Structure 1
Amino acid sequence: MERLNTLLANLVLTVVFLFPVSCNSCQSQKNAGKEMVVQTYTKVSPDFNADSAYHFVERQVSFGPRVPGTVAHEACGDYLLEKLASFGAEVFEQKAQVTHYNGQDIPIRNIIGSFLPEKEKRLLLFAHWDTRPFADEESDPDAQTTPISGADDGASGVGVLLEVARQLQQQSPDIGVDIAFFDLEDWGQPSFDKKFVPGEWWCVGSRYWSEDPHKAGYKASFGILLDMVGAADATFLREGYSMQHAPSVVSNIWSTASLLGYGNFFLQRNGGYITDDHLPVIEIRGIPCANIINLKGDGFAPHWHTRRDDMRNISRETLRAVGETVLEVVYRE
Structure 2
Amino acid sequence: MKNNLNFLIKMPLILSFLAIISMGAGCGNQSNRKANVQKKETLPPLPTPEFNADSAYAYIQKQVEFGPRVPNTEAHEACAQWLTNKMKELGANVVVQEGKVTAFDNSVLSIKNIIAQFQPEKNDRILLFAHWDTRPFADHDPDPAKRNHPIDGANDGASGVGVLMEIARHLKSHPTHPGIDIIFFDAEDYGIPDHLDIPYKQDTWCLGSQYWGKNPHKKDYYARYGILLDMVGAKGARFHQERYSLQWASGLVDHIWDTAARIGYGNYFIFDKGGYITDDHVYVNKLTGIQTVDIIEYDPTNNSSFGKYWHTHNDNMDVIGKETLKAVGQTVLEVIYQNQY
TM-score by length of 1: 0.86
Q: Which residue in the other structure is 2:111 paired with? A: 108
Is the 8 Å Cα contact of residues 89 and 114 (structure 1) preserved in structure 2?
Answer: yes
Cα distance in 1 for partners of 2:108, 2:213 equals 20
Structure 1 position 327 matched with structure 2 position 333: yes
Structure 1 position 128 matched with structure 2 position 131: yes
Structure 1 position 276 matched with structure 2 position 279: yes
Size of the alignment, in residue pairs? 292
Q: Which residue in the other structure is 1:65 paired with? A: 68
Cα distance in 1 for partners of 2:295, 2:101 equals 28
**Equivalent in 47, 56, 59 of residue 56 of structure 1:** 59
Q: Which residue in the other structure is 2:80 paired with? A: 77
Matches within 5 A, 1:215-294: 215-294=218-297
- Residue 252 of structure 1: CA displacement? 1.1
* Larger gyration radius, structure 1 or structure 2: 1
2:172 is paired with a residue whose SS is helix
Cα distance in 1 for partners of 2:110, 2:145 equals 26
Q: Which residue in the other structure is 2:179 paired with? A: 176
Higher relative contact order (CA 8 A, sep 6+): 2
Unaligned runs of 5+ in 1: 1-41
- Residue 170 of structure 1: CA displacement? 1.9
Q: What do residues 195-243 of structure 1 show as CA deviations (whole Å, max 9, x unaligned)?
A: 3152411000001001111101100010000000001111000000000
Cα distance in 1 for partners of 2:240, 2:218 equals 32
Q: What do residues 50-69 of structure 1 show as CA deviations (whole Å, max 9, x unaligned)?
A: 11000000000000000011
1:256 is paired with a residue whose SS is helix
Q: Which residue in the other structure is 1:311 paired with? A: 317
Cα distance in 2 for partners of 1:326, 1:269 equals 19
More strand by share: 1
Q: Which residue in the other structure is 1:90 paired with? A: 93
Cα distance in 1 for partners of 2:320, 2:262 equals 24
Is the 8 Å Cα contact of residues 140 and 195 (structure 2) preserved in structure 1?
Answer: no
Cα distance in 1 for partners of 2:130, 2:143 equals 29
2:295 is paired with a residue whose SS is strand
Cα distance in 1 for partners of 2:191, 2:79 equals 21
Is the 8 Å Cα contact of residues 122 and 176 (structure 1) preserved in structure 2?
Answer: yes
Runs of 4+ in 1 over 4 A off after TM superposition: none
Matches within 5 A, 1:188-199: 188-196=191-199, 198-199=201-202
Root mean square deviation, CA, Å: 1.2
State the one-letter code of the partner of 1:302: K
1:133 is paired with a residue whose SS is coil
**Equivalent in 302, 316, 319 of residue 308 of structure 2:** 302
Q: Which residue in the other structure is 2:23 paired with? A: none
Cα distance in 1 for partners of 2:337, 2:149 equals 41
Unaligned runs of 5+ in 2: 1-44
